Structure 1
Amino acid sequence: MSSETRVAEQTILDVRNLSVNFTRGGRQMKAVDDVSFSVAAGETLGLVGESGSGKTTIGRAILRLLPSANTTTQGEVRYKDIHLDALSSNRMRSMRDRLQMIFQDPLSSFNPRRNVEDIVAEGLVIQGKPAAERKQRVKSALADVGFDVELVSGRKPHQFSGGQCQRIAIARSLAVEPELIVCDEPVASLDVSVQAQVINLLQDIRETRNLALIFISHDLAVVKNVSDRVAVLYMGRIVEIGTGPQIYGRPAHPYTRTLLEAVPVVDASRKIQPDGSRTVMPSRNRPQGGCAFRSRCPRSTAVCESTVPELAEAPGGQLVACHHPHSEPAPGLAA
């Protein structure tokens, strides 16, 4: 079954026209602008883009984790037949066992005074699970991430390495048996060898538990290895979305190609050379009409100045928001 067919038939998360505005010092900044996508059961959707592109904000908005003060959220987020954006705080709290998040810095989400067993059991305590069931689920979750509960349960977070802490964070999410996990830069702060271990762990868990993942990262090389589909974000908007082979083999949006220029390749002769004129980001505090990428785009024309491009099918089959999309392959990036 193709990725597109699976999304259509088994969609568990449907995001429609999501927008998020932050107000600071009386000025409003649009962090997410009219974003729509779906995620199927067992699928991994990668969200990629530069820092400040809106990736983390989207993840937190889906799970209702944004601060209510000075934040305005619009649009629709539906988990199966449940409209998450319309739920009360108490009802949303009861949904946390199905929808979880793994943070970039696990230590910041741990209570340093609690031991590992208590940390992993936090969600189960909130659910009101009996002690015997909590103990069994904690043991199973820790085993899934490669820990022996008898050896680690009584230890504190500061006694573990960064990679081990991330595995504990994953175990905490797994203990409540969710159906979807938002992974917010889960390997960004880890060494390359440890990154590979965590990524392999997430892939194994996804397959054995049929989990859906939203994998947020600025690293396209990492996203390529874990994602069924990839959504590329620029200035709070999705500018391209498609399967891995479509995005990496025949990227249609000039911004996607700009991101791929930064991906290291073994054979330097096959690497696309960056264009220095496309490195300056426009200000988010100065809204502009037309395409937000036009000041960095070598293909920009008058229509890019006046008209915001909408997502439409590109020659490679993915959706792209560009008036002048590329149709040629990107050498050296699909392998």
Structure 2
Amino acid sequence: MENEGLTYKKAGVDIDAANYSVDLIKKWVGRTKRPEVLADIGSFGGFFALNNQKYREPVLVSGTDGVGTKLRIAQMMGIHHTVGIDLVAMCVNDILVHGAEPLFFLDYIAIGKLQPELVEALVQGVSEGCVQAGCALIGGETAEMPGFYKEDEYDLAGFTVGVVDKGKLINGDAIEEGDVLIGLPSSGIHSNGYSLARQALLGEAGLKLDDQLDELEKSLGEELLTPTRIYVPSVLALLEETNVKGMAHITGGGIAENLQRSIPPGLGAEIDSAAINTPAIFKLIQARGRVPREEMFKTFNMGIGFIIALAPQQLDKALNCLRVKGEKPIMIGKITAQSAEVVIR
């Protein structure tokens, strides 16, 4: 038989598999559709018609992020349908800090060998995250990159666009001494600090992902894959009821670094760590990995995934509103002028 020559598929890129992947993910994209979406996936761009009657001076707020080395845990365990939730959460929680309602989301998947069912699982997670956040998944890109990633390796990135009225944009400028800080609990590690977590637990402590530990209610691997919480519905409801002055999404850098970004120059905050119900996974990392307390708070959220600053007169109303939305809010501290930094006591 005559040699047919080199093809794109022989070089490692399977266009037919890519087309099949698109067919598989259409149902997950359809779950996220909002009335403003003008077309299904498949075009060169996604179309979203902004509702101009809802906003007097609409300001678009955008955010982009990835999942980080949490993906290594997913790949080691062969569980791929939850990290998409993390991807959406990291983006929508960021723009929520400024009072923005997430409108739409796009994802980017880079993979060593395109496996349609694997891509479907990843998009299933992205779809679930978008449903939780109330935004539409209007497009994305799947890049098969042989020779760059191993066959079973992949990376995820994404971005979201939201909207807020200019007069309701939140940037922390209104925060003043005496304002109170409400913390919303995290579901665990979320999507930051996994390089340290893996080194502490799988390296220093020599644990395995399928280990069933007395400290945890599920296997270590399942605990590490717990999806990042999406705070959009509860916080948007709070913004309708109270005058929120500032907010912070607690990601890499922990409570101190992320909260400081939301506080005006010259002000700081005092955080009462005793008020925080720290999940067992953090205690496990600290004990088994011999990680200093200061490093734990510098790296991880330690049980608080989102912080809200408002006047003390608004505290009871805010707590009630958040509880109605299913949150378990905690009064964790206050704004102070005694030090221009966040102090965790």
Smaller-chain TM-score range?
under 0.3
Q: Structure 2 length normalisation: TM-score?
A: 0.23
